[in-house]
Amino acid sequence: MIEFQHVSKRYQEKIVLDNFDAKIKKGEFFVLVGPSGSGKTTTLKMINRLIEPTEGTISLHGKDLTSYHLKELRLSIGYVLQQIALFPNLTVAENIELIPEMKRWKKEERRKRAIELLKKVNLAPEEYLQRKPSELSGGEQQRIGILRAIAAQPDVILMDEPFSALDPISRNQLQELIKELHHELKSTIVFVTHDMNEAMRLGERICVMKEGKVVQLDTPEQIRKHPADAFVAQFFQQEQADLMHLPLSEWFDSSVLYPTVTNQTTQKTDFVATLAQVIQALDKVDQLEIIQDGKSLGYLDNALLLSHLSLVLEREDM
Protein backbone atom coordinates (compact mmCIF):
# COMPACT_ATOMS: atom_id res chain seq x y z
CA MET A 1 0.00 0.00 0.00
CA ILE A 2 2.56 2.60 1.20
CA GLU A 3 6.27 1.82 1.00
CA PHE A 4 9.27 3.85 2.15
CA GLN A 5 12.60 2.81 0.62
CA HIS A 6 15.81 4.28 2.06
CA VAL A 7 14.09 7.59 2.77
CA SER A 8 16.13 10.37 4.41
CA LYS A 9 15.43 14.02 5.10
CA ARG A 10 18.08 16.63 5.84
CA TYR A 11 17.89 20.34 6.51
CA GLN A 12 21.44 21.50 5.73
CA GLU A 13 23.53 19.50 8.22
CA LYS A 14 20.63 18.34 10.39
CA ILE A 15 19.36 14.81 9.69
CA VAL A 16 15.65 14.56 10.54
CA LEU A 17 15.01 11.15 8.98
CA ASP A 18 17.79 8.65 8.40
CA ASN A 19 17.43 5.81 5.86
CA PHE A 20 13.80 5.02 6.80
CA ASP A 21 12.36 1.76 5.46
CA ALA A 22 8.80 0.58 6.08
CA LYS A 23 5.86 -1.08 4.34
CA ILE A 24 2.37 -0.09 5.49
CA LYS A 25 -0.26 -2.66 4.56
CA LYS A 26 -3.61 -1.86 2.98
CA GLY A 27 -6.28 -1.37 5.66
CA GLU A 28 -3.71 -1.33 8.48
CA PHE A 29 -3.75 0.90 11.57
CA PHE A 30 -0.06 1.86 11.58
CA VAL A 31 1.34 3.99 14.41
CA LEU A 32 4.51 6.08 14.44
CA VAL A 33 5.57 6.70 18.04
CA GLY A 34 8.57 8.34 19.63
CA PRO A 35 9.75 11.37 21.60
CA SER A 36 9.82 14.90 20.17
CA GLY A 37 12.33 15.22 17.36
CA SER A 38 12.26 11.54 16.42
CA GLY A 39 11.08 12.23 12.84
CA LYS A 40 7.58 10.78 13.08
CA THR A 41 5.66 13.88 11.88
CA THR A 42 8.16 14.41 9.05
CA THR A 43 7.54 10.80 7.98
CA LEU A 44 3.77 11.32 8.06
CA LYS A 45 3.89 14.56 6.03
CA MET A 46 5.90 12.88 3.31
CA ILE A 47 2.91 10.65 2.49
CA ASN A 48 0.87 13.59 1.19
CA ARG A 49 4.01 15.43 0.01
CA LEU A 50 3.82 18.29 2.47
CA ILE A 51 7.50 17.44 2.93
CA GLU A 52 9.68 15.97 0.19
CA PRO A 53 12.46 13.48 0.98
CA THR A 54 16.09 14.41 0.40
CA GLU A 55 16.83 10.82 -0.60
CA GLY A 56 14.89 7.63 -1.24
CA THR A 57 11.47 6.87 -2.71
CA ILE A 58 7.92 6.58 -1.36
CA SER A 59 5.25 4.69 -3.26
CA LEU A 60 1.47 4.43 -2.94
CA HIS A 61 -0.33 1.47 -4.55
CA GLY A 62 3.03 0.54 -6.12
CA LYS A 63 3.34 3.93 -7.82
CA ASP A 64 5.95 6.58 -6.93
CA LEU A 65 4.31 9.48 -5.10
CA THR A 66 5.98 12.02 -7.38
CA SER A 67 4.11 10.57 -10.37
CA TYR A 68 0.72 11.51 -8.87
CA HIS A 69 -0.87 14.89 -9.58
CA LEU A 70 -0.29 16.72 -6.29
CA LYS A 71 -3.84 18.08 -5.89
CA GLU A 72 -5.42 14.73 -6.67
CA LEU A 73 -3.05 12.97 -4.29
CA ARG A 74 -3.98 15.25 -1.41
CA LEU A 75 -7.70 15.05 -2.16
CA SER A 76 -7.44 11.25 -1.96
CA ILE A 77 -5.85 11.34 1.52
CA GLY A 78 -7.67 12.33 4.72
CA TYR A 79 -5.69 14.44 7.19
CA VAL A 80 -6.42 15.14 10.87
CA LEU A 81 -4.24 17.56 12.84
CA GLN A 82 -3.70 18.15 16.54
CA GLN A 83 -4.79 21.78 16.05
CA ILE A 84 -8.15 20.58 14.63
CA ALA A 85 -8.04 23.37 12.00
CA LEU A 86 -11.72 23.62 11.13
CA PHE A 87 -12.59 26.64 9.02
CA PRO A 88 -14.15 29.05 11.56
CA ASN A 89 -16.30 30.86 8.98
CA LEU A 90 -17.90 27.62 7.75
CA THR A 91 -20.68 25.65 9.41
CA VAL A 92 -20.22 22.08 10.60
CA ALA A 93 -21.97 20.86 7.44
CA GLU A 94 -19.73 22.96 5.18
CA ASN A 95 -16.59 21.74 6.95
CA ILE A 96 -17.59 18.08 6.58
CA GLU A 97 -18.67 18.56 2.95
CA LEU A 98 -15.54 20.47 1.90
CA ILE A 99 -13.57 17.64 0.27
CA PRO A 100 -16.63 16.00 -1.35
CA GLU A 101 -17.45 19.42 -2.83
CA MET A 102 -13.91 19.79 -4.17
CA LYS A 103 -14.32 16.32 -5.69
CA ARG A 104 -17.53 17.55 -7.36
CA TRP A 105 -20.06 15.49 -5.43
CA LYS A 106 -23.65 16.63 -5.93
CA LYS A 107 -25.10 18.84 -3.19
CA GLU A 108 -27.68 16.27 -2.04
CA GLU A 109 -24.97 13.57 -1.88
CA ARG A 110 -22.75 15.82 0.25
CA ARG A 111 -25.53 16.64 2.69
CA LYS A 112 -26.62 13.01 2.95
CA ARG A 113 -23.02 12.06 3.76
CA ALA A 114 -22.71 14.80 6.43
CA ILE A 115 -25.92 13.66 8.14
CA GLU A 116 -24.84 10.02 8.03
CA LEU A 117 -21.44 10.80 9.56
CA LEU A 118 -22.81 13.02 12.34
CA LYS A 119 -25.09 10.18 13.39
CA LYS A 120 -22.09 7.83 13.54
CA VAL A 121 -20.43 10.03 16.19
CA ASN A 122 -23.64 10.65 18.16
CA LEU A 123 -24.03 14.31 17.15
CA ALA A 124 -27.64 15.06 16.20
CA PRO A 125 -27.63 16.49 12.64
CA GLU A 126 -30.56 18.81 13.34
CA GLU A 127 -28.57 20.39 16.19
CA TYR A 128 -25.07 20.46 14.69
CA LEU A 129 -25.25 20.92 10.90
CA GLN A 130 -25.56 24.72 11.04
CA ARG A 131 -23.32 25.37 14.05
CA LYS A 132 -19.97 27.12 13.70
CA PRO A 133 -16.78 25.60 15.17
CA SER A 134 -16.74 28.26 17.91
CA GLU A 135 -20.01 26.81 19.24
CA LEU A 136 -18.46 23.36 19.79
CA SER A 137 -16.37 21.87 22.59
CA GLY A 138 -12.81 20.72 21.83
CA GLY A 139 -13.92 17.09 21.65
CA GLU A 140 -16.80 17.97 19.32
CA GLN A 141 -14.50 20.00 17.07
CA GLN A 142 -12.10 17.09 16.76
CA ARG A 143 -15.00 14.77 15.92
CA ILE A 144 -15.87 17.12 13.04
CA GLY A 145 -12.22 17.18 12.03
CA ILE A 146 -12.25 13.39 11.81
CA LEU A 147 -15.52 13.40 9.84
CA ARG A 148 -14.09 15.94 7.39
CA ALA A 149 -11.09 13.66 6.86
CA ILE A 150 -13.21 10.56 6.14
CA ALA A 151 -16.14 12.22 4.34
CA ALA A 152 -14.88 11.45 0.82
CA GLN A 153 -14.03 7.86 1.79
CA PRO A 154 -10.24 8.10 1.31
CA ASP A 155 -8.05 5.02 1.09
CA VAL A 156 -5.51 6.63 3.43
CA ILE A 157 -6.05 8.75 6.55
CA LEU A 158 -3.14 10.58 8.20
CA MET A 159 -3.52 11.57 11.86
CA ASP A 160 -0.87 13.78 13.50
CA GLU A 161 -1.26 13.62 17.31
CA PRO A 162 -4.98 14.35 16.92
CA PHE A 163 -5.99 13.78 20.56
CA SER A 164 -3.02 15.11 22.53
CA ALA A 165 -4.58 18.53 23.22
CA LEU A 166 -7.83 17.08 24.58
CA ASP A 167 -8.85 16.27 28.14
CA PRO A 168 -8.46 12.60 29.19
CA ILE A 169 -12.16 11.74 28.87
CA SER A 170 -12.48 13.24 25.36
CA ARG A 171 -9.22 11.57 24.33
CA ASN A 172 -10.45 8.18 25.53
CA GLN A 173 -13.77 8.61 23.71
CA LEU A 174 -12.11 9.61 20.45
CA GLN A 175 -9.62 6.75 20.62
CA GLU A 176 -12.57 4.36 20.82
CA LEU A 177 -14.31 6.24 18.00
CA ILE A 178 -11.38 6.02 15.61
CA LYS A 179 -10.96 2.30 16.36
CA GLU A 180 -14.63 1.74 15.49
CA LEU A 181 -14.42 3.85 12.32
CA HIS A 182 -11.27 2.03 11.20
CA HIS A 183 -12.97 -1.33 11.70
CA GLU A 184 -15.96 -0.14 9.69
CA LEU A 185 -14.24 1.82 6.90
CA LYS A 186 -11.19 -0.43 6.37
CA SER A 187 -9.11 2.62 5.45
CA THR A 188 -5.36 2.62 5.97
CA ILE A 189 -4.59 4.85 8.96
CA VAL A 190 -1.13 6.26 9.68
CA PHE A 191 -1.21 7.73 13.18
CA VAL A 192 1.48 9.80 14.94
CA THR A 193 1.74 9.99 18.72
CA HIS A 194 4.36 10.52 21.43
CA ASP A 195 2.23 8.46 23.84
CA MET A 196 3.24 4.78 23.95
CA ASN A 197 0.04 3.85 25.76
CA GLU A 198 -2.03 5.38 22.94
CA ALA A 199 0.15 3.59 20.37
CA MET A 200 -0.32 0.24 22.11
CA ARG A 201 -4.05 0.79 22.37
CA LEU A 202 -4.63 1.73 18.73
CA GLY A 203 -1.92 0.26 16.54
CA GLU A 204 -1.98 -3.03 14.70
CA ARG A 205 1.72 -2.43 14.11
CA ILE A 206 3.88 0.19 15.78
CA CYS A 207 7.01 1.87 14.47
CA VAL A 208 9.09 3.14 17.43
CA MET A 209 11.38 5.98 16.32
CA LYS A 210 14.34 7.78 17.86
CA GLU A 211 16.50 10.50 16.31
CA GLY A 212 15.15 9.86 12.82
CA LYS A 213 15.69 6.10 12.87
CA VAL A 214 13.47 3.05 13.29
CA VAL A 215 14.26 1.37 16.60
CA GLN A 216 11.58 -1.31 16.39
CA LEU A 217 8.69 -2.07 14.04
CA ASP A 218 6.36 -4.78 15.27
CA THR A 219 2.97 -5.62 16.77
CA PRO A 220 2.04 -4.22 20.21
CA GLU A 221 2.30 -7.71 21.71
CA GLN A 222 5.82 -8.30 20.40
CA ILE A 223 7.00 -4.86 21.51
CA ARG A 224 5.59 -5.48 24.97
CA LYS A 225 7.13 -8.94 25.27
CA HIS A 226 10.35 -8.40 23.33
CA PRO A 227 11.48 -4.75 23.29
CA ALA A 228 14.34 -4.28 20.83
CA ASP A 229 16.58 -2.41 23.25
CA ALA A 230 16.72 -0.47 26.51
CA PHE A 231 15.21 2.64 24.89
CA VAL A 232 12.03 0.80 23.84
CA ALA A 233 11.77 -0.98 27.20
CA GLN A 234 12.17 2.25 29.14
CA PHE A 235 9.77 4.15 26.87
CA PHE A 236 7.14 1.45 27.35
CA GLN A 237 7.69 1.16 31.10
CA GLN A 238 7.35 4.91 31.55
CA GLU A 239 4.03 4.94 29.75
CA GLN A 240 2.80 2.04 31.89
CA ALA A 241 3.82 3.95 35.02
CA ASP A 242 1.91 6.98 33.72
CA LEU A 243 -1.28 4.87 33.64
CA MET A 244 -1.38 5.10 37.42
CA HIS A 245 -1.91 8.84 37.07
CA LEU A 246 -4.89 8.58 34.75
CA PRO A 247 -8.26 9.51 36.30
CA LEU A 248 -10.62 6.75 37.38
CA SER A 249 -12.98 7.86 34.60
CA GLU A 250 -10.39 6.61 32.07
CA TRP A 251 -10.74 3.08 33.43
CA PHE A 252 -14.38 2.83 34.50
CA ASP A 253 -17.79 3.46 33.08
CA SER A 254 -20.15 4.34 35.93
CA SER A 255 -22.43 1.43 34.96
CA VAL A 256 -19.72 -0.98 36.16
CA LEU A 257 -19.85 0.29 39.75
CA TYR A 258 -21.87 -1.31 42.55
CA PRO A 259 -25.22 0.54 42.88
CA THR A 260 -25.28 0.23 46.69
CA VAL A 261 -22.90 -0.22 49.62
CA THR A 262 -21.67 -3.80 49.92
CA ASN A 263 -18.98 -3.34 52.60
CA GLN A 264 -18.80 -1.56 55.95
CA THR A 265 -16.32 1.34 55.90
CA THR A 266 -16.73 3.80 53.03
CA GLN A 267 -15.14 7.02 51.86
CA LYS A 268 -16.11 9.45 49.12
CA THR A 269 -13.80 10.17 46.20
CA ASP A 270 -14.22 12.06 42.94
CA PHE A 271 -14.48 10.31 39.55
CA VAL A 272 -11.37 12.23 38.41
CA ALA A 273 -9.19 10.84 41.22
CA THR A 274 -6.18 9.02 39.78
CA LEU A 275 -5.88 5.26 39.84
CA ALA A 276 -2.93 5.61 42.24
CA GLN A 277 -5.06 7.71 44.63
CA VAL A 278 -7.91 5.18 44.46
CA ILE A 279 -5.60 2.25 45.25
CA GLN A 280 -4.12 4.19 48.17
CA ALA A 281 -7.60 5.04 49.52
CA LEU A 282 -8.80 1.44 49.27
CA ASP A 283 -5.89 0.43 51.44
CA LYS A 284 -7.62 2.27 54.31
CA VAL A 285 -11.33 1.63 53.73
CA ASP A 286 -13.51 -1.23 52.46
CA GLN A 287 -15.27 0.73 49.75
CA LEU A 288 -15.23 4.08 47.91
CA GLU A 289 -18.31 6.05 46.93
CA ILE A 290 -17.57 7.61 43.53
CA ILE A 291 -18.81 11.19 43.12
CA GLN A 292 -19.19 13.26 39.94
CA ASP A 293 -20.56 16.82 39.98
CA GLY A 294 -21.80 16.26 43.53
CA LYS A 295 -23.78 13.14 42.60
CA SER A 296 -23.07 9.55 43.62
CA LEU A 297 -22.30 7.25 40.68
CA GLY A 298 -21.91 4.08 42.73
CA TYR A 299 -19.41 2.17 44.86
CA LEU A 300 -16.04 0.56 44.27
CA ASP A 301 -14.03 -1.94 46.31
CA ASN A 302 -10.73 -3.77 45.79
CA ALA A 303 -12.34 -6.88 44.30
CA LEU A 304 -14.26 -4.89 41.68
CA LEU A 305 -11.24 -2.70 40.91
CA LEU A 306 -8.95 -5.69 40.32
CA SER A 307 -11.45 -7.72 38.30
CA HIS A 308 -12.37 -4.78 36.08
CA LEU A 309 -8.79 -3.66 35.48
CA SER A 310 -7.77 -7.20 34.56
CA LEU A 311 -10.55 -7.29 31.95
CA VAL A 312 -9.53 -3.87 30.54
CA LEU A 313 -5.85 -4.81 30.30
CA GLU A 314 -6.66 -8.21 28.80
CA ARG A 315 -8.87 -6.53 26.18
CA GLU A 316 -6.10 -4.08 25.24
CA ASP A 317 -3.60 -6.93 24.96
CA MET A 318 -5.72 -8.61 22.28
* 121-163: pLDDT as tens digits: 889 999 999 999 999 988 899 999 999 999 999 999 999 999 8
Position with higher pLDDT, 169 vs 278: 278
Q: What is the reported pLDDT for 248?
A: 81
So where are the chain's domains? 2-242, 248-317
Cβ 309 vs Cβ 251: under 8 Å: yes
* 156-187: pLDDT as tens digits: 999 999 988 787 767 878 888 899 899 998 99
* 216-271: pLDDT as tens digits: 999 998 998 899 999 998 887 766 656 666 778 777 777 888 888 887 899 999 88
Cα–Cα dist 34/40, whole Å: 7
Lowest mean pLDDT among 23-27, 39-43, 45-49, 223-227: 223-227
Task: Match domain 2-242 to its CATH number in 3.40.50.1820, 1.10.1740.10, 3.40.50.1580, 3.40.50.300.
Answer: 3.40.50.300
Q: What confidence tier does 318 reach under pLDDT thresholds 50, 70, 90?
A: very low
Q: What's 66's DSSP letter?
A: G
Lowest mean pLDDT among 9-13, 43-47, 210-214, 301-305: 301-305
- pTM for the whole thing? 0.77
Domain boundaries 248-317, corresponding CATH code: 3.90.1280
Q: What confidence tier does 317 reach under pLDDT thresholds 50, 70, 90?
A: very low
